[in-house]
Amino acid sequence: MSHDPLSPLVESMLKELGEDPGRDGLVRTPKRVAQAMRFFTEGYQADPVEILNDALFDVTYDEMVIVKDIEFYSLCEHHMLPFFGRIHVAYVPNGKVVGLSKIPRLVGMFSRRLQVQERLTTEIAETLEQVLEPRGVAVVGEAIHLCMMMRGVEQQSASAVTSSMRGAFKSDSKTRSEFMDLIRHQRPSFA
């Protein structure tokens, strides 16, 4: 791999913080941080529509499809500190379904960008709505933000919950309630 232009920026930051980038423990830090940041933000290199279009199927199934407890991590765009948690996704098909593994891939792609939790939740819902044209889409995100824990308000136990409800999930309280009840149940062990 050629020299990453992020490396000298990390070296400059270390100097500005009062560190010696030439000392034993930091010599390779600029390169490692550059590689980590490229990995943490690789979602910019993917197309969300392509992820879903690879696995679309015509079906007559019209009941709710839920993929819950999708673990994710991301970097907040305000401080570039991690936030992480779980996302729950549901949709009511309207003639098309997507392979179940594509939903966690979509979550992973959007979470590997500089984000705010609210936009992450909305982007997932918008993409599913655009590609599947379902009767409804629901996305709920639950996360812990290190920027709230390590700085600012320094709240160690606070978590954030965001949602995006569209179509039947927004207009029909029974559909919305069914989804919310189903994602509240504990994860099965299957063991």
Q: Is 88 a catalytic residue?
A: no
Are 140 and 85 in a shared domain? yes
CATH number at residue 104: 3.30.1130.10
Q: Give the count of domains, the chain.
A: 2
Are 74 and 15 in a shared domain? no
Given 76, 88, 115, 123, the catalytic residue: 76
User: Residues 78, 147: contact at Cβ < 8 Å?
Assistant: yes
Q: Is 129 a catalytic residue?
A: no
Say how far apart CA 161 and CA 170 lie, in whole Å.
17
Domain that holds residue 18: 6-40
**Does residue 30 lie in a domain region?**
yes
Whether pLDDT at 28 is above 90: yes
pLDDT class of 1 with cuts at 50, 70, 90 = very low
Say how far apart CA 10 and CA 37 lie, in whole Å.
11
| pTM (two decimals) | 0.91
Task: Summarize pLDDT for 124-168 with one digit per residue, the tens.
Answer: 999 999 999 999 999 999 999 998 888 877 777 788 999 999 999
**Does residue 189 lie in a domain region?**
no
**Does residue 191 lie in a domain region?**
no
Say how far apart CA 191 and CA 177 lie, in whole Å.
29
Q: Is 78 a catalytic residue?
A: yes
Average pLDDT over residues 166-184: 95
Given 77, 130, 133, 155, the catalytic residue: 77
Average pLDDT over residues 76-87: 96
Given 79, 129, 142, 178, the catalytic residue: 79
Q: Is 79 a catalytic residue?
A: yes
pLDDT class of 175 with cuts at 50, 70, 90 = very high
Q: Is 147 a catalytic residue?
A: yes
Say how far apart CA 106 and CA 118 lie, in whole Å.
16
Given 42, 45, 50, 78, the catalytic residue: 78
Are 59 and 17 in a shared domain? no
Phi, psi of 123 (to 5 degrees): -60, -40
Whether pLDDT at 180 is above 50: yes
User: Residues 72, 87: contact at Cβ < 8 Å?
Assistant: yes
